[in-house]
Structure 1
Amino acid sequence: MNLFKEIILLKKISQRNKQKTHMTDLLPDTHASMIKKYRPSPITHHPSLMKHKGMKPLLLLLHIVIASHVFSQKAELKGIITDASNNAPIPFANILVVGTQTGTSSDENGNFDILDLEPGFVQLQVSFIGYKTKISADVFVSKSNIPYIKIALEPVEEVLKEIVIIADPFEKKLEAPISMQNIGVKEIESNPGSNRDISRVIQSFPGVGSTPAYRNDVIIRGGGPSENRFFLDDVEIPVINHFSTQGASGGPVGIINADFIESVDFYSGSFPANKYNALSGIFDFKQKEGSRDKTNLQAALGASEAAFTIDGHWGNKTNYIFSVRRSYLQFLFAALELPFLPTFNDYQLKLKTNFDKKNQLTVISLGSLDHLDLNTDIKNPNSSQEYILAQIPINNQWSYTFGAVYKRFFDKGFSTFVLSRNMLNNVFYKYPDNNENMNKIQDYESSETENKFRYELTFRNKGIKYNVGVHAEYAKYYNATEQELFLNNQLQYIDYESSLDMFKFGFFGQATKRFLGKRFLVSAGFRLDGNDYNARTSNPFNQFSPRISFSFLLNNKITLNTGSGRYFQQAAYTTLGYRNRNGDLVNYSNTKYIGANHYNLGLEYKFSKSAIFSVEGFYKKYFNYPIDLNTGASLANQGADYSVSGAVPVAFKGKGKAAGFEILNRINHRTFTLLASYTFVESRFSDINDKMVASSWDSKHIFTLTGSKSLKNNWRVGFKWRYVGGLPYTPYDLNTSALVQAWNSVGRPLLDYSRLNTERFDAFHQLDIRIDKNIFFNRWTLMLYLDIQNVYNFKNKGRDYIIRGKNSDNSFILLNNNTEYKLQAIANKSGTILPTVGIMVKF
């Protein structure tokens, strides 16, 4: 191979010497054309001046200075090309800017430097003999900074005969040829209605449902928001939203800063064996690296927060990126007399050190600090304000994750060591009618702490890619709860303190190989997981999790994919740590891991390098799902409100199924993107009587059309239209809710679980548009956007507000010897045109 590279290098040098005989030929095409277009002024070329020999060098220098000034208006991109199997640099790889004639080749150390780029988003296509051609993630380039990108090429042992492989910008991982999508930074930055929040961006993709409540609940293929896991540069991030629902994953605003994201791998099935504890979805975030050239600063003012980001380098081996954000929603909400006042803060850090070509260390951290207060200063609140003020508790929450990832490379692979710690602290409390002179009806404090270690060995041998490893974790959970509940027609008091220590472990392995001249891909793996909570969960063979995927290349455009697997997820800490007033762990004896079997089949057609069409069917069969013994409903229906999920006595006997199909048409052209997706899904879970009931995520139909177009002078316009079928809901039990004892115990109406999810909301649909304008100066960049949500002012009809009737003196109307309130139903319609202006300055 070394001899071959030397021959290629000598050939390139020879060709350059033959072709580049003119000064402009030594420059990239756009530079050369600019020099040729440049005409010297009559003054500088006056015959009397040209007679003086000393003037010629001066005039040449003047021309160079002018040309250099013109060239400085362009952008630059640096990076390195490496072997994905061992991190070895790949010299003399061919690098082309997608959609242009601009390109270069890597040097003998794998490094490259591309000049003369038009500012904006670019992708690189990289090729070299013996490796699979790859199209990089989107990279934003400007005049004011020089991004750095690392592109790893997958080695191939032999060239495919009769089949021509097209470089694929939508390329999937070898371990997951089905039920996987890659999301680039351009799609995140320009997604209308998302405000650069990845939890909202993914709602454009097939299989992803949502609620009209303007939350970031991730609902994938009919599964609940508690069934997903998130990884950031190989470190698990349990909390990705501010005001997160404990025991699930949703919240109103995402924590992850879009300025850090390079790309996201989204799995809705066929999970790699090294990812764990998920039933519906896995998100694998890859972060950018800091600049190798200078310190860059960015200030941003968005829809809800102000942000500051800095990135740069320390010496030749270490780079960093750091950001802080703070919301200003509390001031806006107070001015608009909204009943709740949220304040959130967060930080994010990535620090990477390349000790040498064989050793690298990445340190990441992410944290949040949130406070939700009530706007009790509203005078004469209306019905909706009164309803919200009566039920929402005050919430204080903070979280952090800190992780270190060390990678050691060798000739045929690499070892990965991941050490991390994360913590969530959550406090809720509520006074009756927000009267602090009365006893609290809810007082909740909880914390979750996890210390994790994972080792992975990835290597190739005889054409097979192996990934094996172990996972160990020590977790601590604390809960102190005092709460009033009205159950079985009587008032009950929940009062317990719980502390729980738990050790968790896992083993995994996966092997991937191509057969039949590279047409046929097989990937098979397994996991064994357990914890020491009880005897059943401590036996890892009870959680044996096999998986297998196949991909068959019918021709150079059509691929048939299929996969199946069994996946397990530990019950939420809120469920495991639930105790009665005697201090007993109520769910100890019957606790099991929740399981799901996945079956997927799909067909993929590649129109071109930038367009793809796919159809995929899916079936998920759940078992051991916890059922709430208080209500008789599956916990699969919980997790999409501002409370705690899973803190109840349960029976692990629930079943469920979610089935449907997805259609996707995706175009990612240099100046135009389109993502059209349709999902049909049915989701049903059993109740306490083994009756299958439509789940809270049974939307049936989800259709999303998202597009963007780059225009002249760095303008970009985009739109997103989204339709979500009406979701099932449980009606109120108004007779019980009217009881004074019942209402006062929770401050809101109670649900009638004998009619679980028997009603259905109307369908929800909304159009969002976005206009971006980037202005590139030599030393700084100004980025502006106008985002308008709900352009045609769709009004969503929700469950009625139920409030207590009042007398003229503002006291509540009481009936039946003062044992019942007089309740009133108020129509609940939400939705308004919501314009947002965003400003970002990079320098």
Structure 2
Amino acid sequence: MKLPLLFVAFLLPFYCHAQLTQTLRGRVVDNESKYPLVGATIQIVDQSLGNVSDTAGAYRIPKVPVGRRTVRVTLVGYKDVLLNNIIIDAGRETILDVELEESVQQLSSVTVRAQRTGEARNDMAVVSARQFTVDEADRYAGSRGEPARMASNFAGVQGADDSRNDIVIRGNSPQGVLWRLEGVSIPNPNHFAIAGTSGGPVSIINNRYLANSDFFTGAFPAEFGNTVAGVFDLKLRNGNNEKHERTVQFGFLGTEAMVEGPLSRKSSGKSMSGASYMASFRYANLGLFNKIGLDIGTQAVPSYQDGFFRLNFPLTTRSGAPAGSIALWALGGTSTVDILVSQQKADDRNIFGQNDRDQYYTSRMGVAGLTYTRPVSKQTFWKTTLAVSGNVQDANHDYLFLRKDGGGNPIVQNSRFVVDSLRPILDYRFKEVRYTLSSFVNHKTGTRSTLKVGLNTDVYNFSAFDSVRTFEPPTSTRFTGWQTRWDANETFALLQPYASYRTRLTSNLTLTAGLNALFLTLNAKSSSPVEPRLGLSYDLPNRQKLSVAIGLHSQMQPTYTYFYKTPNLASSAYPAPLVEENRAVGLTKSWHYVASYNRLLGQNMRLLLETYYQRLFNVPVERVASSFSMLNTGAAFSRIFPGALVNTGVGQNYGVELTLEKFFSDNYYFLVTGSLFDAKYKGSDNVWRNTDFNGRYAFNALFAKEIPFKRSSLNVGAKFTATGGRWYGPVDEAASRRNQEIVFASATRNSLQFAPYRRFDIKIDYKINRQRLTHTIAVDFVNVLGIKNLLSLSYAPQPDGTFVKQEYQLGFLPVFYYRVNF
């Protein structure tokens, strides 16, 4: 395929003009109370430019030369902050809000320097936490601008599935990942989401409206509950409240537009001074690229669109002092795909569906919220978010009956199976609506200590209908009647109060302690009244730090599993009547133990070592002896249909992780991460096995170099990924033919392993700055070597009578875009 003609821009000559500049502005606040700090000094390190924050904590530095800059912020009594890799573009103002941490020593002669790059925004986290920026999501090769795919580069995380952005954290199921936005939990924020999963093929979230956010991989602070694997804690930024700005982009993942700016030059009243808006919309282009021959992984062309808006209204007191803000925001997306196997060739690759039926699938997800923030005083901060969210999955399947020859084998003509008939076999619709209230108060008790107390409340309404029919007998083309596996309309609540306390015992030793509680009103077994969290961090000489943390965590099961009706095996009827047996299933629980060593190597490099042990218990497994465990679910395009579940399963994960990172300076950066781990589980048959996700190792190496010119810059980056393969087992042929899908023999489950996963990506982007305009042309060459990585085994009857088909992941895929900011 020819590369887009836009890349001819790489060959254009570079003209010398007067240097382009842009404004850098923002606010400086206390990191605990969010109260504005007066008199903070903001400096551009490599320029003779700077300013001082005013009574509202605001600062402005005009005429900053475009490019990457380093910013230092200082204030007597607070730790210095050094922020490198701040991007200044001609096409939009750079708004940089900075939070300063109060120093234990209050003497003006004492300065404690804090290198903030990569450090989590959440001060209660002492281990297994990292802040990520919008620039990182764009910069990392192979990340496609998505937070989840970007996070797969971090130590302890693997995402070796080209068809989905699921992330496996320390051997845990992706189902255990919690997504939060503005402090509230949200449904799976991906297009084509399946119930009980946290990932999907394409993210609904656009990184351009995110602020710097946190990612956690273990021993989470007390405010995070209902998760045993990891947390994405996403924050939204406000639109520019002084200047209207626009972004238009065309690329492989869609055509999109974004606008932001002030609601009015002069708002009606002081309470709305500086109000802003921001909105975006994206529409998929995959149909166009499929027509020109670009391999998108399947002959079925997915269609999707998503959008976002945020209105922010700063509040002030009668005297004009800042008094917090009110923000109204919403995001959502809809996606549809029709996988028409009846119209495909016999050897077509189809990594998104089954090979024996036509499938019609639609999913929708949305969340809207109202957030109120207020710095009550110089010591106290209050934030409350009220939100409503929902997700819907709607599917219909028509089973494909093929004409067969005298030997019973399917007939193939012109590379296609000859279709005898299509008959409806499945119809289901799941809908979940969630009403959420999240509120907390952060209070500083002097310079050493902070107390955070909050409550997260979710009220669920789950409605579901699922009807299916099977063959009778299994070898016949005659169907049984329709069976209803789900028929529910239920309302229940999830309550999570918590308290966290952080104190600096000395200038070098910090203690964090907290309690979380979880109460699910669906059944009496789903409560965890005391979940302790404890962490210690000790600063050593030569910019070294030792940290340890321990915590008890619990998680409810995917909503739909509580209401699945299992066959009544005691009945003599065929098919057996269905009964609801899993409503009383309890919480999965886990103890996390983590120790870390962190050292800064010079000004712009760090080494991080972490080791951990995780003990999982109360894991749902089947009541009858089998190898099934909920620890193996949550990473596929299909739901699970277990028998009656009981909380008697266990699991354990342990490992060691290495991160060597050179922050972006001197026009280049690199990130090297490695993990060695082991993840095992035990089902109701009392046998220890590898989990599906026990790859044993994961390695990532990323590098990027920027070549600056007078008014433009060329960035070249590369990434290599290597992980151990997923586990599986010998196929149970009789059960697979009976169920028309691959079924692995229970006794030998996960005794075999796919070949290791390998991928090499290259990313090139070229940025052109003009007066009040920035063009960006980029291409991400995913799997540039075209390595064939095995994805899964699928059920696909062949003319020779076999039915096991190996499905491979994406081959070489160029993901490109052209963007203009103005």
Tell me if TM exceeds 0.5: yes
**Which whole-Å CA distance do the structure 1 matches of 2:471 and 2:630 have between them?**
19
* Residue among 460, 471, 474 paired with 2:444: 460
Amino acid at match of 2:601: F
Describe the SS at the equivalent of 1:755.
Answer: coil
- Find out whether 1:618 has 2:607 as its counterpart: no
Residue of 802, 811, 820 corresponding to 1:823: 802
Name the SS for the 1:433 alignment partner.
strand
Given the alignment of the two structures, is residue 167 of structure 1 paired with residue 112 of structure 2, yes or no? no
1:607-645 per-position Cα deviation (integer Å, ceiling 9, x unaligned): 133211011001111011112458641011111111224
1:348 Cα deviation after fit = 1.5
SS at match of 1:682: strand
Deviates more, 1:642-651 or 1:677-686: 642-651
CA contact (8 A) 1:543 1:568 kept: no
- Whole-angstrom CA distance in 2 between matches of 1:354 and 1:830: 48
What amino acid is the match of 2:153? Answer: S
Alpha carbons of structure 1 residues 751 and 484: separation in structure 2 relative to 1, 3 Å: farther
Unmatched 5+ stretches in structure 2: 1-16, 265-272, 317-321, 402-418, 568-576
Distance, in Å, in 2 between the alignment partners of 1:137 and 1:731 is: 52
Aligned to 1:733: 732
Higher relative contact order (CA 8 A, sep 6+): 2
Aligned to 2:397: 430
Aligned residues: 750
Correspondent of 1:701 among 675, 697, 703: 697
State percent identity of aligned pairs.
21
Matched, 1:840 2:805: no
Map 1:566-581 → 2, pairs under 5 A: 566-580=552-566
Contact 2:70 2:85 in 1 (8 A): yes
Alpha-carbon RMSD across the aligned residues, in angstroms, is 2.7
Q: Distance in 2 between matches of 1:585 and 1:375?
A: 33
How far apart are the structure 2 equivalents of 1:184 and 1:123?
Answer: 15
| Corresponding position of 2:456 | 471
Structure 2 residue 525 is matched with structure 1 residue 565: no
Cα deviation, 1:79-112, whole Å, max 9, x if unaligned, reads 1112233333222211123555543322344221
Normalization by structure 1: what TM-score?
0.84
What is the rounded CA distance, in whole Å, between the counterparts of 2:64 and 2:703 in structure 1? 24
1:367 Cα offset (Å)? 0.4
C-alpha distance in structure 2 between counterparts of 1:205 and 1:379, whole Å: 39
- Residue 250 of structure 1 is matched in structure 2 by 199
1:220 maps onto 2:169 in alignment: yes
Q: Distance in 2 between matches of 1:391 and 1:688?
A: 33
CA-to-aligned-CA distance 1:560-580 (integer Å, 9 cap, x gap): 110000001111111122235
Q: Tell me if the contact between 1:697 and 1:728 (Cα under 8 Å) persists in the aligned partners.
A: yes
Secondary structure, counterpart of 1:199 in structure 2: helix
Higher helix share: 1
Match of 2:281 among 324, 347, 351: 324
- SS of the residue aligned with 1:774? strand
Q: State the alpha-carbon separation in 2 of the partners of residues 385 and 255 from structure 1.
A: 23
Kept in 2, the 8 Å contact 1:730–1:759? The answer is yes
- Aligned mate of 2:582, from 561, 582, 587: 587
State the alpha-carbon separation in 1 of the partners of residues 84 and 260 from structure 2: 19
8 A contact 1:374–1:389 mirrored in 2:
no
Equivalence map 1:741-752=2 (5 Å): 742=738, 745-746=739-740, 748-752=741-745
1:354 equivalent in structure 2: 314
Residue range with higher mean Cα deviation, 453-462 or 572-581: 572-581
Q: Equivalent residue for 2:330?
A: 365
Cα 1:398–1:156 change in 2 (3 A) is same
Please state how far the C-alpha of 1:784 moved relative to its aligned partner. 0.6
- Partner-residue secondary structure (3-state), 1:340: coil
Q: How does 1:27-46 map to 2 (within 5 A)?
A: none
- Which string of whole-angstrom CA distances, capped at 9 and with x for unpartnered residues, describes residues 310-337 of structure 1? 1111133311221111112134335548
Q: 1:107 aligns to what SS in structure 2?
A: coil
SS at 1:311 equivalent: strand
Deviation string 1:145-182 (CA, Å, 9 cap, x unpaired) is 22323212122342599995443323333211111111
Whether contact under 8 Å (1:485, 1:494) holds in the other structure is: no
Q: CA–CA distance in 1 between the matches of 2:758 and 2:138?
A: 22
Cα 1:426–1:829 change in 2 (3 A) is closer
Could you say what secondary structure the match of 2:311 adopts?
A: strand
Tell me how far 1:836 sits from its aligned partner.
Answer: 2.8
Work out the CA distance in 2 between the residues paired with 1:117 and 1:377: 60
DSSP 3-state at the match of 1:716: strand
Equivalent residue number for residue 771 of structure 2: 778
Partner of 2:66: 119
Counterpart amino acid of residue 519 in structure 1 = N
2:465 maps to what in 1? 480
Asked if the contact 1:174–1:523 (Cα under 8 Å) also holds between the matched residues in 2, the reply is no
Amino acid corresponding to residue 525 of structure 1 in structure 2: G
Give the whole-Å Cα distance in 2 for the aligned partners of 1:605 and 1:487.
66
Secondary structure of 2:356's counterpart equals helix
The equivalent of 1:502 in structure 2 is 492
CA contact (8 A) 1:165 1:556 kept: no
Distance in 2 (alpha carbons) for counterparts of 1:137 and 1:652? 48
Decide whether the 8 Å contact of 2:533 with 2:550 is kept in 1. yes
CA distance 1:729–1:98, shift in 2 (3 Å): farther
- 2-structure distance, mates of 1:98, 1:753: 62
The one of 86, 107, 112 aligned to 2:54: 107
Amino acid at match of 2:670: L
Structure 1 residues 579, 803: CA separation in 2 closer, same or farther (over 3 Å shift)?
closer
Q: Which residue of 2 aligns with 1:4?
A: none
Task: Within 5 Å, give how 1:188-227 maps onto structure 2.
Answer: 188-227=137-176
1:436 and 1:419 mapped to 2: Cα distance? 54
TM-score by length of 2: 0.86
In our comparison, the structure showing a higher alpha carbon Rg is 1
Return 245-254 or 111-120, whichever deviates more. Answer: 111-120
Q: Which runs of 4 or more aligned residues in structure 1 lie more than 6 Å from their structure 2 counterparts after TM superposition?
A: 160-163, 434-437, 485-492
Gaps of 5+ in 1: 1-68, 807-812, 814-821
